[in-house]
Structure 1
Amino acid sequence: MAGVQTAVALREQGWTGQVVVLGAEPHQPYDRPPLSKAVLLGKAEGSAFDVDFAALDIELRLGLRVSGVRPGQRLVDTDAGPVAYRHLVIATGAEPIALPGSEGVPGVHLLRTLDDAQRLRPVLAEQHDVVVVGAGWIGAEFATAAREAGCNVTVVEAAHRPLAGALPGAVAGYMATWYADSGAELRTGARVAEVEPGAVLLADGTRLPAGAVVVGIGARPATAWLAGSGIALAPDGSVLADDALRASAPDVYAVGDCVSFPSARYGARLLVHHWDNALQGPRTVAAHIVGSETALTTADRYDPVPYFWSEQFGRFVQYAGHHAGADTMLWRGDPTSAAWTVCWLRDGALVALLAVGRPRDLTQGRKLIEQSAHLDEARATDPTVPLKSAVR
């Protein structure tokens, strides 16, 4: 998404020079969200972007792995030799973290690429017993698809609740009940000791039958290939960019899951592993490549309200903002019901929102976060009051 959107944005904003997209995968560039849904369940063969690359004069070089970059010489090293650049945009995304000790074990899967999804389709079609390691967003989405396909599903999570790294316990605790409601078993506080063909062994001695094991324990920026380049990386491995998404080397930018950037809105450096970030960032990068630095305004600085969504266990979950640093949490609706919202405030201003089955709250709340709007807490907690009407 990030690489393709950068190429398209360059053309839309008037760049007339050569545009080359290098990609390690052999497939036409594709969208990832359908992989854990339609593609996985066999309802779609792929999710290629509807982009006429030839008409836009965008050259695709697919099946070509990049191994390094030499900023001093303005060269990218690839399997087919060096490629010269005037401007370089790093859009290598993130790579899933493997479960230690599971490498090479038959029946162990990751879910990140189209090939991953296609390898998993027979698992669902044959209704294997499935063990999912990790109750994060991808674990929940895969478990949802596997249950829809009729598989027996057990989700194993080392923390004591799902989404432990993403949401407070007071919120995620209610989401734990969704697993049982769907017929999946959720085991929290459960550590994997060993994975063997056909089974997962837990640290407490439990042996779980597993026709397939799907690992969803997180992802890290795919930046190992930048070693030795001199391009600065943050401790989390992300490209260390400024508020224009510029890296530390001249004329090098980064977009999407591989880059972190300073947010004046939240007073923190953000690393956002979500689709919307890969859609928004390229516009900023294209503006800086096409335009002169002196002509750019603060509007061209990248400081978005992060946004993502997830479809799991029959629920549409949406999140906007960044709740770290909030001092107040408000509930809109009953979290044991099918539709509810959580709002986070800092000094009275809305900074983040999680909406379950309440898309209108999300749409209105996202705008209010952008405006740093202050809410009347009494009105904001009344789910019958439109969120925009709760502004003080």
Structure 2
Amino acid sequence: MSEQTQERGVSPVRRVVVVGAGMAGVQTAVALREQGFPGAVVLIGAEPHQPYDRPPLSKAVLLGTAEGSAFDVDFEALDIELHLGREVLGVRPGDHELDTAEGPVPYDVLVLATGAEPIRLPGTEGVRGVHLLRTLDDAERLRPVLADQHDIVVVGAGWIGAEFATAAREAGCAVTVVEAADRPLAGALPAEVAAPMTSWYADSGAELRTHARVRHVEPGEVVLDDGTRLAAGAVVVGIGARPATAWLAGSGIELGEHGEVLADAHLRTSAPDVYAVGDCASFPSGRYGERLLVHHWDNALQGPRTVAENIIGAQTGEAPAVYDPVPYFWSEQFGRFVQFAGHHTSADTLLWRGDPSGPAWSVCWLREGRLTALLAVGRPRDLAQARKLIEAGAHMNPELLKDPSRPLKAATAAP
């Protein structure tokens, strides 16, 4: 124990337990070692597989061009203790113990990194031929469906639905995408931005049906509310995800309206010595003035560094680090590379850069003259510059900003 720790009366952290072996959990364990944490690091995962990255599941694994996407991490060399295929049932913060099917697991500090789980289409649980796409096992079950070129109905025209439809069309499947809203990506983008994306489906040979709700699924068919029957050798559901936090019931750890763990600006939960990171947690953003729940890969990559820093800093008396990133994600769909940085609301001013009927364009959102978010289609330079400008809180000249021939960074204005 250091003299500083003794003076503060802080018990040394000898054992950090991380629940969840996805990106957020693995990166937390790795960051602890990279930042010099000397104690035990235990990583618990519910799946039996070696920890793996999820984004390639709808691409390489589905199309048979890769067997998996295991993280390139030498857990043994880093002295990270892996417990895979182990289900966590609950946590007792007062006792500093987890409950698992194999018995209790003690911790000094606990990190919640259980991610999110896909929302099931009501009435389809256990129905043959209905698939979700979240885990490696899900992807393995879908691979032969694509290889056999079944007729496929995708429920939901969000990011996952579009990416899977892209892979299915590449495999030569007939694809129909059913969306209850009036447009794709209705939950993520305003109508005028999503509108040009509608034609991407037809251009790829997929059929997009909007204002369409599933009544029920029968063997080989999907029946819509209006009675339409769609041939379906397989049904893939992509209607969203919710934080995987049901196991926290009764723990006293505070959850939000979407079931997410309510972390503070330092990613600490309401329970002592418990942190939360990644898809399972929301955090207050000073930059945007609201609490953010970010279900994207980059959040699961960046947050663990803050968690590790704060676990170690709590022992040394360092001021806790604040987590307030510029959210970022990307999507590859229908031959296009789509990237998004920031966060926007309906009150923000929307500006176009380029022709949305063309192959490359961007959309910017401004709030009181500052760039708050940018969506880039085939314009990665816009995206790279936008992340830095949003981070800096840069003021922008709207007229210059609308000129797609001008670099984004050259459209700044004096505040």
Alignment TM class, shorter chain as reference = over 0.9
Task: Please list the CA deviations of residues 28-51 of structure 1 after superposition, one character each: whole Å capped at 9, or x if unmatched.
Answer: 000000001101111100000000
Residue 105 of structure 1 corresponds to 127
Read off the aligned partner of 1:47 and give its amino acid letter. S
Equivalent residue for 1:261, pick from 283, 300, 316: 283
- Confirm or deny that 1:124 pairs with 2:155: no
Matched, 1:14 2:41: no
Tell me whether 1:93 sits opposite 2:118 in the alignment: no
Cα distance in 2 between the residues matched to 1:358 and 1:293: 44
Opposite residue 369 of structure 2, the aligned amino acid is: G
**1-side partners of 2:180 and 2:316: how far apart?**
50
- Match for 1:313: what amino acid? F
1:46: which partner in 2? 68
1:341 to 354, 362, 383: 362
TM-score (norm 1): 0.99
Rate the CA distance shift 1:180–1:11 in 2: closer, same or farther, 3 A: same
Alignment of 1:174-193 (within 5 A): 174-193=196-215
Per-residue displacement from partner, 1:55-108 (whole Å, max 9, x unpaired)?
A: 000010000000000000000011100000000000000000000011111100
Structure 1 CA distance, aligned partners of 2:90 and 2:167? Answer: 37
**Equivalent residue, structure 2, for 1:374:** 395
Query: Which ranges of 4 or more aligned residues in structure 1 deviate by more than 4 Å?
Result: none
- Name the CA distance, whole Å, in 1 between partners of 2:305 and 2:186: 32
Note if contact 1:75-1:84 (Cα within 8 Å) is conserved in structure 2.
Answer: yes
Contact 1:68 1:225 in 2 (8 A): yes
SS in 2 for 1:72: helix
Show the 5 A alignment for 1:350-369. Answer: 350-369=371-390
Which digits, 9 at most, give the CA deviation of each residue in 1:244-302, with x for residues without a partner?
Answer: 0100000000110000000010011000000000000000100110113784447x200
1:326 touches 1:344 (CA, 8 Å); kept in 2? no
Separation (CA, whole Å) in 2 of partners of 1:3 and 1:326: 35
Q: What one-letter code is carried by the residue in structure 2 that aligns with 1:105?
A: V
- Structure 1 portions without partners, runs of 5+: none
Q: Which amino acid aligns with 2:167?
A: A
CA RMSD of aligned residues (A): 0.9
Structure 2, unpaired ranges of 5+ = 1-22
Question: How far 1:325 moved relative to its partner?
Answer: 5.4
SS in 2 for 1:19: strand
1:123 is paired with a residue of what secondary structure?
A: helix
Query: How much does 1:372 deviate?
Result: 0.7
Provide the aligned length of Structure 1 versus Structure 2. 391
Normalised to the residue count of structure 2, the TM-score between the two structures is 0.93
Task: Give the fraction of aligned pairs with identical amino acids, expressed as a percent.
Answer: 77
Matches within 5 A, 1:30-45: 30-45=52-67
Structure 2 residue 336 is the aligned partner of structure 1 residue 315: yes
1:145-179 CA distance string (max 9 Å, x none): 00000000000000000000000001001111100
Q: Secondary structure at the match of 1:60?
A: strand
1:331–1:341 CA contact under 8 A, matched in 2: yes
Superposition map of 1:167-246 within 5 A? 167-246=189-268
Are the aligned partners of 2:313 and 2:319 in contact in 1 as well (CA < 8 Å)?
A: no
Counterparts of 2:164 and 2:175 in 1: how far apart (Å)?
Answer: 10
The alpha-carbon distance between structure 1 residues 251 and 53, as it changes in their structure 2 partners (threshold 3 A), is same
